Amino acid sequence: MTKAEMVNTKHKTVLLQEAIEGLNLDSKSIVVDATFGGGGHSLEICKRFPNAKIIALDQDSGAFQKAESKFKDLYCNITFVNENFRNLDKESWSAKNFGKYALGDTGQGTHFSQNPLRANSVDGIIFDLGLSSDQLENSGRGFSFLRDEPLLMTMKENPGSEDVTAEDVVNTWGEKNLADIIYGYGEEKFSRRIAKGIVEAREKAKIKTTFDLVKIISEVVPKVYQRGRLHYATKTFQAIRIAVNDELGALTVGLDKGFKLLKINGRMSVISFHSLEDRIVKRFYKEKVKEGKAELINKKVILANDNEIRNNPRSRSAKLRILGKIN
């Protein structure tokens, strides 16, 4: 995303129609929206299939509060679960009902006595690995390098003492480790310079805010790099966020647990925005096909068309892959 595109963004769901159509749903379907975010996919499913049952997950409870007004006038059977999708098989969940036809009688702060999801119980599951622009721009947790905020970068709205934060990463991790994650997760070619700059800066003063980190990066990368189309802090912030939230580990676990939930002929849609994410998805799909448990619904990856890219520039990096369970 360019510097201009990062300012005043309003979240638009990418590959919305393609991802939902690929699930082959009907009015009796049970669907898991594993990455609720701005609520775009759940909202579209509600509009198309008002009697379908939707279980929507997000580890940021604030995402649901912001999106709730979109659902208030819909006859929509949707339940919000405040969980990371890596916990799809958790025994009990915190849950809140949204629509007029919600699952069970579970109010804010209550729990399902049992997780309603069981193996072979779901018709469709969707993972949109993109981050909600509205959610991240207004979270106050340091995801954006354009705002001076505390360095948290946690998907949880209220991280606990046990949760790793971006402040922990930049102030305590070793130089080699920092360089490795900035290069490995951010594909940042100046990773070693940036890691060295971080370690030298924290010896003088603790790195506490996003602007502290941006200043360090600006002082160690070439001036010509700073004038590039992509903001010079983008890749470092991305890498640290991925590390803080163990996003790649969660994806590996979530795909496996999500596939187990699918009924025979159920489908999984995954939209990725990062080459490392797409590699994990592609490898997982290939393994399931090789095991004789699944088939590729789209042989070639589905990309945003020119019209969508014009209206939503962030969609240019999106890749959709759809898998069908056959055994």
Higher local confidence (pLDDT), 184 or 97? 184
Is residue 255 located within the same domain as residue 126?
A: yes
Q: Please say if the pLDDT value at position 106 is more than 60.
A: no
Is residue 108 located within the same domain as residue 195?
A: no
Is residue 222 located within the same domain as residue 253?
A: no
Listing from the earlier edge strand, what are the strands of the sheet with 319-325? 110-111, 94-97, 77-81, 53-57, 30-33, 122-128, 262-272, 319-325, 294-296
Q: Please say if the pLDDT value at position 61 is more than 90.
A: no
pLDDT band at 64 (very low <50, low <70, confident <90, very high): confident
What pLDDT is attached to residue 175? 98
Q: Please say if the pLDDT value at position 281 is more than 90.
A: yes
What are the distances in angstroms from CA 301 to CA 15, 67, 112, 122, 253?
A: 12, 30, 37, 24, 22
Is residue 112 located within the same domain as residue 12?
A: yes
Is residue 117 located within the same domain as residue 19?
A: yes
What pLDDT is attached to residue 5? 39
Q: Please say if the pLDDT value at position 20 is more than 80.
A: yes
In single-letter form, the type of residue at position 142 comes to G
CATH number (domain holding residue 194): 1.10.150.170
What pLDDT is attached to residue 101? 39
Using alpha carbons, select from 61, 210, 213, 239 the residue that is nearest to residue 140. Answer: 210
Mean residue pLDDT across the chain: 87
Domains in the chain: how many in total?
A: 2
Domain-ending residue, one of 203, 230, 247: 247
Q: Please say if the pLDDT value at position 276 is more than 90.
A: yes
What pLDDT is attached to residue 94? 64
Query: CA torsion, points 85, 88, 92, 95, in degrees to nearest 10?
Result: 50
What pLDDT is attached to residue 133? 67
Please state, in angstroms and rounded to a whole number, the distance separating the CA atoms of residues 96 and 107: 5
Is residue 114 located within the same domain as residue 196?
A: no
Q: Please say if the pLDDT value at position 7 is more than 50.
A: no
Domain-ending residue, one of 221, 247, 273: 247
Vertex 289, ends 321 and 276: CA angle to 5°? Answer: 45
* H helix runs in 98-190, sequence order: 133-137, 166-172, 175-186
Q: Give the model confidence (pLDDT) of 221-247 as tens digits.
A: 999 999 999 999 999 999 999 999 999
Is residue 85 located within the same domain as residue 145?
A: no
Is residue 8 located within the same domain as residue 129?
A: yes
Of the given ranges (52-56, 132-136, 302-306), which has the lowest mean pLDDT? 132-136
Higher local confidence (pLDDT), 325 or 65? 325
Q: What value does the mean pLDDT take over residues 152-168?
A: 88
What pLDDT is attached to residue 9? 40
Q: Give the model confidence (pLDDT) of 107-141 as tens digits.
A: 443 444 567 788 889 999 999 998 776 656 777 88
pTM of the model: 0.86
Residue span of the structural domain in which 163 resides: 140-247
Is residue 242 located within the same domain as residue 274?
A: no
Is residue 243 located within the same domain as residue 253?
A: no
Q: Please say if the pLDDT value at position 10 is more than 80.
A: no
Is residue 38 located within the same domain as residue 146?
A: no
Q: Please say if the pLDDT value at position 102 is more than 80.
A: no
Domain-ending residue, one of 247, 280, 307: 247
Q: Please say if the pLDDT value at position 31 is more than 90.
A: yes
Strand partners, 97: 79
What pLDDT is attached to residue 283? 98
What pLDDT is attached to residue 108? 42
Q: Please say if the pLDDT value at position 97 is more than 80.
A: no
CATH number (domain holding residue 74): 3.40.50.150
Query: CA torsion, points 300, 301, 306, 307, in degrees to nearest 10?
Result: 110
pLDDT band at 320 (very low <50, low <70, confident <90, very high): very high
What is the DSSP pairing of strand 319-325 with strand 262-272?
antiparallel
Is residue 123 located within the same domain as residue 145?
A: no
